[in-house]
Amino acid sequence: MSRELAEPLRGGPARRAADPVTAVIALGANLGDTSRTLAEATSELASMPLTSEVVCSDAIASVAVTLDGPDPSKPGYLNAVALVTTRLAPSVLLEMLHGIEERHGRQRRERWGDRTLDLDLIAYGHVVSDDPRLLLPHPRAHERDFVLAPWAQVDPHASIPGRGAVVDLLARLRTERG
């Protein structure tokens, strides 16, 4: 059994390898046939081993976000959120997400650059991790309406450990932006 599953993680009790957990995955794409890419990626999530269910939000359009902030001159994104019931360890799940991205032509040349597919592990149950290779929950999820809005659609009672209810975070963002 991996150390990750054998030892307790902050934010939750120790899990056995057989215990399923709900992982939250943000999907985004702004290059190519984005609708088709998100649909194919969702199917690939459902076909991962040790995964029993995938519930995906409707897709929403958003402005590209770069290191300098929102950039309407870049191709817009199509975003969604999937809830994935899995028994994969979080590090294994993240590896599998990177594999799906690569199969869809994802190239990691520029941080926050244009992408054929972006899959971010936003949350893994109630796990909190400050390991730089696996930050959980995602450190910027609470600041992104293109994550919060579709997440609230598929799970209106969701919360981000240490941040609060997704619907409240989304309302706060929308109020701040006026």
Catalytic residues: 106, 115, 118, 120
What is the pTM assigned to this prediction? Answer: 0.88
Domain boundaries, given as residue ranges, for the chain: 3-140
pLDDT band at 69 (very low <50, low <70, confident <90, very high): confident
What's the rounded Cα separation, in Å, for the pair 93 and 101?
A: 12
Q: How confident is the model at residue 7 (pLDDT cuts 50, 70, 90)?
A: very low
**What is the CB neighbour count within 10 angstroms for residue 12?**
14
pLDDT digits (tens, 9 = 90+) for 109-141: 766 678 899 999 999 999 999 999 999 999 999
* Among the ranges given (5-14, 15-24, 48-57, 168-177), the one the predictor scored with the smallest mean pLDDT: 5-14
Class of domain 3-140: alpha beta
- Cβ count within 10 A of residue 87: 18
Question: What pLDDT does residue 111 have?
Answer: 67
CA atoms within 13 A on the CB side of 126: 10
